[in-house]
Amino acid sequence: MSFQLVPYQYQATWQEALSIYLYVKIYINHVIVKDVTIQNYPSFELYDHHVKKYTIWYQNSNRKEDKIKRWIMTHHAEIAYFQENFGQIFQAKVEFWQDRKKTEYYKTKLQQAFEFENFIAHKLQQEYGINIEPYLTPQGQYDLGENKLGIEIKNDQLIKKYKNIYIEYAEKARASNANYIPSGILKKDNTRFFLIGDEQKFWIFRKSRLLEIYYEEIRYQQQQQRSRRKIQFKQKETSKGFVYPVIAAQHEAISFEQMVQELF
């Protein structure tokens, strides 16, 4: 099995995943080479400082990688197993930012969202030759949007159970914060489409249409009229949004092909 270290460029490949895993285990966590095993990869957590250190180390022409080379030379079977099962047992890792403390539940949901984003990115690349070009920093995503294409991708695994789609328009980082800030459809960024669901079924909405629906529903409330779409507004500890029944929302959704046509 031929394997060489590669730069970390957010390509979600097995070579990239294994390269940074070995670097973190051996050079940051200081695990003895003989004790490094891919069986621990599923519980591995990748942080932004890991990526920064690996990038500097990889670009250094004088880097010493004797330990990693030694592992590679003696673990051909593990490398082959990792490659064969990448995308199943072994997944590309979401990069956790050290901007706030994260619960294990939050980390799990973030990883699931990351895998769904990779699924959509792969579909765009394989079927249309389009690079999604994600923004890779918290500031970039907050100021500009999720990616350069303007597609907000939301992994929602509860749609199947409740038959509703949740459309967010305000949020706050902590429940104890006094005020909500605009998010989702009310956030001023480059987002043009919201893609919501999971790998088995997802819906795509134009942001402009969701905003029209939001303001129409606000008027219904002000006029004390029932929602014609059976939409209900919800307020959670850290989020405000409206619940849109799938049976009505599906009539506003557009196809993947239509979205791609409107991107350019």
Residue ranges of the domains in the chain? Answer: 14-84, 104-263
Query: What is the C-alpha to C-alpha distance for residues 106 and 111, in angstroms, rounded to an integer?
Result: 9
Query: Are the C-beta atoms of 22 and 36 separated by less than 8 Å?
Result: yes
Q: What is the pLDDT of residue 89?
A: 94
pTM, rounded to two decimals? 0.79
By three-state DSSP, how is residue 260 classified? helix
**What DSSP character marks residue 254?**
B
Q: What is the pLDDT of residue 180?
A: 96
Which residues fall within 8 angstroms of residue 93, CB to CB, at 6 or more apart?
Answer: 17, 44, 45, 46, 111, 114
Which residues fall within 8 angstroms of residue 46, CB to CB, at 6 or more apart?
Answer: 20, 24, 93, 94, 95, 96
Q: What is the pLDDT of residue 193?
A: 98
Which residues fall within 8 angstroms of residue 21, CB to CB, at 6 or more apart?
Answer: 38, 41, 44
Q: What is the pLDDT of residue 106?
A: 80
Q: What is the pLDDT of residue 137?
A: 58
Which residues fall within 8 angstroms of residue 258, CB to CB, at 6 or more apart?
Answer: 204
pLDDT in 10s for each residue of the chain, 264 residues: 689 999 999 889 999 999 999 999 999 999 999 999 999 999 999 999 999 999 999 998 777 778 999 999 999 999 999 999 999 999 999 999 876 677 888 888 889 999 999 999 999 999 999 999 876 555 545 555 688 999 999 999 999 999 999 999 999 988 899 999 999 999 999 999 999 999 999 999 999 999 999 999 999 999 999 999 999 999 999 999 999 999 999 999 999 999 999 998
Which residues are paired to 164 by β-bridges? Answer: 245
Q: What is the pLDDT of residue 65?
A: 76
